[in-house]
Structure 1
C-alpha cells in the first residue's frame, strides 16, 4: 500500500509499505528520501507517536493513502548529551551538570589554543567523515602529536 509521510515544516515523501513493514523501516526510508537522521524523526498518526518496533498492521488506521506526520526532533547539544552520559555512568544531577560544564570549559580552552591550520584540518576531517570520504594524501599527517594534557573529571 502507498502512504505519505509529511514533515510538519514542509517536505513529504510517498512510500510503498506492506502490513509487515516496521515503523523503523519507514524511518530508514524517510532518512534516505528527506535526509533527516532516524534519531531525529518522530512519526505520528492522529497525534500518537508510532513505535519503531511495531509494524504497519499493528496500527489499523494505517490504510492505502494514509498521511503520517513527521516531527523533526531537535538534536541534543553537547552539554545535554554530556549530562545524559554522566548520569548514565552513575553521577547524580548536580555532579553531571558540573561535569558537563567542565567539559565545555575544557573544550573551549582547547579550541582557542588551536591554530587556524589545526581548525582547518579538524573541519576538513569532520566534513570528510560525514560524507564518507578519507583525507587526501597531501593533507595527511605522518603521525599525530600526542596530547600532553588530558581531560579528567
Structure 2
C-alpha cells in the first residue's frame, strides 16, 4: 500500500509499505528523504505515536493513501546531554560545575579554530551525510 509521511513544516515523502514493514524502516526513509535524524522523529497516526519495534500491520488504522505525520523533536544540546549523563554519577551542584567548565573549555577551543579548520570540519560532516 502507498502512504505519505508528512512533516508539519510542509515537506513530505511517500513510501510503499505492507504489513511487515517496520516503523523504524519508515523512520529511516524519512531520514534519507527529509534529512531528519531518526532520534528526532516521532511518527503519528490518528493522534497516536508509532513505536519503533512495531510493524505497519500492528496499526490497523494505517490504510492505503493515509498520511502519517512526522513530529520533529528538538535536538538535545551538548550541555543538556552532558548534564543528563553526569547526573547518574554526581550531585546536581557537581554536574553544573563540570558542565560549566566543559563549556568554557569547548568555547575556548572552538574560538581558536581558523576558518580553514571550520571549513574542513563542515566538509567532513557533509561528506558523512
TM superposition score normalised by structure 2: 0.88
CA offsets, 1:26-78, max 9 Å, x none? 00001111111111111111222111111001111111111111111111112
RMSD: 1.7
Paired residues for 1:1-153 under 5 Å: 1-88=1-88, 90-112=89-111, 114=112, 118-132=113-127
Distance 2:46 2:94 in 1: 40
Q: Secondary structure at the match of 2:25?
A: helix
State the 1:95 CA deviation. Answer: 2.2
CA offsets, 1:86-107, max 9 Å, x none? 224x223332222112211122
Residues 120-129 or 11-20, more deviating:
120-129
Contact kept? 2:20, 2:56, Cα under 8 Å: yes
State the 1:8 CA deviation. Answer: 0.7
Gaps of 5+ in 1: 134-153
CA offsets, 1:92-145, max 9 Å, x none? 333222211221112223334x1xxx3323312321221227xxxxxxxxxxxx
Larger radius of gyration: 1
* Greater relative contact order (CA < 8 Å, ≥ 6 in sequence): 2
Distance 1:45 1:71 in 2: 11
Residues 27-36 or 101-110, more deviating:
101-110
Gaps of 5+ in 2: none
Q: Secondary structure at the match of 2:61?
A: coil
TM superposition score normalised by structure 1: 0.76
